[in-house]
């Protein structure tokens, strides 16, 4: 990316159209107030191009230039952005639309591939073995999730492999 951008109206409308069609319907409602990024745990964790900045870059016509951006995979879908947005943008949906765009173009960041593989293996995009910790605080070591259930994992794998994600040849 160069140090300056040219505003290209075709690129802008193409970017908006792509994100809108992939589910980020509210993108044009954004007034760039920044409330979403103020509460976004992803932004704080070092994934700056989420919510407000991601939308701004699309609205500047920089969708293609961002294709390798790994910030989008930092979104935990907590939807705090959706809750505080005063304009009904639903920034989380924009982030997910952007992810779909990246996935369609096979432009995963390495962190994304790890989470996809986690999802395939355990049914959780972010997974760490919490059995020791749970025991320490007096909980049953294994939470009732797909992480410890081979049958569920098989089902998830079948679903994923038969989904558009499967066609990408990731698994």
Partner 1 sequence: MAKVGVYVCHCGTNIAGVIDVEAVRAFAEALPEVVVARKDLFMCSDSGQELVKQDIREGLVDRVVVAACTPRTHEPIFRAAVESAGLNKYLFEMANIRDQDSWVHPDNPEQATEKAMKLLASAVGKASRLKPLEDKYVDVTQAALVIGGGVAGISSALELANMGYTTYLVEKEPSIGGIMAQLDKTFPTNDCSACILTPLMVDVGNHPNIKLMTYSEVEEVEGFIGNFTVKVRHKQSYIDWKKCTGCGDCAEVCVEQTKGRIPDEFNQGLSPRGAAYIHFPQAVPKKAVVDAANCISCKGHKFGQEPKISKKTGKPMIAPCQEACPADAIDRSQQFDPNGTIEEIKVGSIVVATGYQVMDKKWFKELAPDSPNVVTALQLERIISATGPSGGKLVRPSDQQKPKTITFVSCVGSRDENFHTYCSRVCCMYMIKQARLLKEKYPDLNINMHFIDVRAAGKEYDEYYTGARKMGINILKGKVGGLEVLPEDRLRVLAYDMEGAVPIEYESDLVVLATAIELPETAKKLAQATGLQFCGSHFYRELHPKLGPVETSVRGLFLAGCCQGPKDIPDTVSQAKGAAAVAAVPLAQGKVKIDPIISEVHAEKCSGCGICIPLCPYDAITFRMVADRPRAEIDMTACKGCGVCTTACPSAAIILHGYEEDQIYAQIAALTA
Among 22, 30, 36, 156, binds partner 1 (CB under 8 A): 36
Contacts of 113 (CB under 8 A, 6+ apart): 170
Rounded CA separation 26/105 (Å): 22
Among 22, 27, 35, 59, binds partner 1 (CB under 8 A): 35
* C-alpha dihedral sign at 22, 25, 26, 28: positive
User: Considering beta carbons, is residue 29 or 136 the nearer one to partner 1?
Assistant: 29
Rounded CA separation 142/131 (Å): 6
Among 12, 39, 103, 165, binds partner 1 (CB under 8 A): 39
User: Considering beta carbons, is residue 37 or 146 the nearer one to partner 1?
Assistant: 37
- Which positions touch partner 1 (CB under 8 A)? 31-40, 43-44, 48, 52-53, 80, 83-84, 86-88
């Amino acid at each position: 990316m160069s140090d300056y951008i040219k505003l290209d109206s075709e690129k802008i409308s193409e970017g908006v159209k792509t994100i809108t069609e992939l589910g980020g319907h509210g993108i044009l409602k954004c007034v760039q107030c920044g409330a979403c990024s103020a509460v976004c745990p992803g932004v704080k964790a070092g994934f700056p191009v989420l919510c407000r900045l991601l939308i701004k870059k699309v609205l500047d016509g920089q969708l293609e230039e961002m294709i390798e951006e790994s910030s989008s995979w930092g979104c935990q879908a907590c939807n705090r952005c959706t809750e505080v947005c005063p304009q009904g943008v639903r920034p989380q949906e924009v982030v997910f639309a952007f992810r779909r765009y990246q996935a369609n173009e096979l432009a995963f960041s390495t962190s994304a591939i790890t989470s996809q593989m986690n999802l395939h293996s355990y049914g959780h995009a972010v997974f760490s073995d919490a059995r020791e910790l749970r025991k320490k605080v007096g909980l049953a070591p294994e939470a009732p999730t797909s992480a410890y259930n081979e049958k569920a994992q098989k089902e998830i794998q079948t679903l994923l492999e038969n989904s558009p994600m499967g066609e990408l040849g990731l698994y």
